[in-house]
A and B are shown apart, each in its own frame.
Chain A
Amino acid sequence: MRTIDINPEDMLPLTPAVFHILLALTEGERHGYAIMREVAESTNRQINMGPGTLYGTIKRLLEAGLIEESDRRPDAEIDDERRRYYCLTGLGQRVVEAEACRYNELAKLVRRKRLLGKLTKTAPAGGI
């Protein structure tokens, strides 16, 4: 399997769209519309993906082996059979964790530099 050979660190840094899609899938399998809504809500609508960007990214993630199409279907009552569900692979899980660690290190650096305090003071009302 390719997941054994590939080091997750080699795939970093991820683009914001890829990172948010992988993050949305950490809580379980989702279809395209659910991923898009999850990303929009979790970023306060700062990242609003169109269908092209979403499925273009999904295609590349499938090719890279970070996600896979899921065979399992939710309840027939809430399921639309035309929808395609996606879930993280083992490699995808490790890559998103590695990216989260990288962000964490970045956040620590920002705190160490006391950038956050300066920005809060200089930011306008309703800003950061």
Chain B
Amino acid sequence: MPNNVDGKGVAISVKIYERLLAICPADFRREYGPAMKQLFRDQCRDAWSEAQGRGLAVLWLRVLPDLAKTSIVEHLTSLHRRESLFMKTVQAIRADPRLRATFIRVFALVFIGALVWSDCETYWTPKVYLSTVRIEVQKDIRDIPIEQDPYFLTTQFKIIKSYSILTNVIATLHLYEKLAAQTGDTPWTMDQTYLNLFDKISVQRTRMTSLTEISVKNPDPKLAADIANAIVNTYRESCLEKWKQERDMSIAEGHSTRRSIPMEEIPVVTIRDPARPTMRPIESSLEIFSRWMFGGTLAALVAGGVGVWLGHLIRRFSHRQGTPP
């Protein structure tokens, strides 16, 4: 090994190389990282004694692709090993009849559990219907495009779901009684009803259009449609009310009617597609059943695999206990 004192370049290069070793898999790095660093240090010393900085530069040009290649190969190797755990489990199940029996028992148990649960979920959970009303919300002054006010629609979405609008709808449709009755409860307070209704409403822009859709979920399809239509009517009335108030105020102040009112704040609401009761629930019984069965089969397979490994470990442990020292 060369005895010359390390140049600064060598020390820095070794430090950088040590950091770069982080791209290799942890197992490989733990086993061979120190040896690779040592070898690189030796190579640096040789390169430095031959051509100093230029020698180090040439060495780096050789070592960097080498490190990248090694990292990729070792990562692929470790990935392949991880996959083989699954194959080992399959082989163990095939080879050992007792492990196979364990797998079948655990699989059957979890699968039957999922089957029973999916039946309960399908028949006991009330079906939920979705009713949607589509409206067009525009600013009153037609020559100011919505694009110039990026927050216009977002603000309207918030207003539609606001406390003042929804409490109006609740009072009009007596929802504090109807919604509470659906859960078998006594009539709710206004705040309770508002919170419940708020979660069942979604307001969003219809994709690829300038329309806004207000959707309401409810176990009663007719009530869902009524709520959606009532929200739009209340929202439209509130817009008109606001416009009238502004107009009256400006008249009282002696201005001409429309010119002095901040019209851009007042939206025009047009109903394009009113909500109708739909007979198709959001998720059909078959869809709920399929979802649970798919999840149940996966869970049963995983549980079966875990059962096999646990059985294997218990057998090994009991075998060791029974073996004389």
Contact = CB atoms under 8 A, between A and B. Distances in A.
A83 B34 CA distance: 9
B38 A50 contact: no
Interface string A45-78: 0001111111110110000000000000000000
Contact of A36 (B32, B39, B70): B39
Interface string B28-55: 1001101111111011000000000000
Given A48-B62, A56-B74, A82 B38 contact: yes
Which of A50, A58, A82 lies at the interface centre, i.e. has the most chain B CB atoms within 10 A of its CB?
A50
A71 B195 CA distance: 74
A32 to B, nearest CB: 5
A54 B40 CA distance: 11
Nearest to B63: A50
A56 B31 CA distance: 11
A105 interface: no
B173 interface: no
B180 to A, nearest CB: 69
Interface in B62-77: 62-63, 66-67, 69-71, 73-74
Contacts of B39: 32-33, 36, 51, 54-55
Nearest to B65: A50
A75 to B, nearest CB: 14
A51 B73 contact: no
B67 A52 contact: yes
Contacts, number: 58
A29 to B, nearest CB: 15
B1 interface: yes
B48 to A, nearest CB: 15
Given A48-B62, A51-B63, A51-B66, A83 B38 contact: yes
Nearest to A62: B31
A92 B66 CA distance: 25
A84 interface: yes
Interface residues of B, number: 23
Size class of A's contact patch?
10 to 19
A55 B66 contact: no
Contacts of A84: 35
Nearest to B17: A51
B260 to A, nearest CB: 78
B73 A56 contact: yes
A54 to B, nearest CB: 7
A38 to B, nearest CB: 13
B28 A59 contact: yes
B287 to A, nearest CB: 50
A22 B121 CA distance: 66
The 3 closest A-B pairs by CB, nearest first: A50-B66, A52-B70, A51-B36
Given A51-B35, A51-B63, A52-B36, 8 more contacts: A32-B35, A36-B39, A36-B43, A50-B70, A51-B37, A51-B67, A54-B39, A84-B35
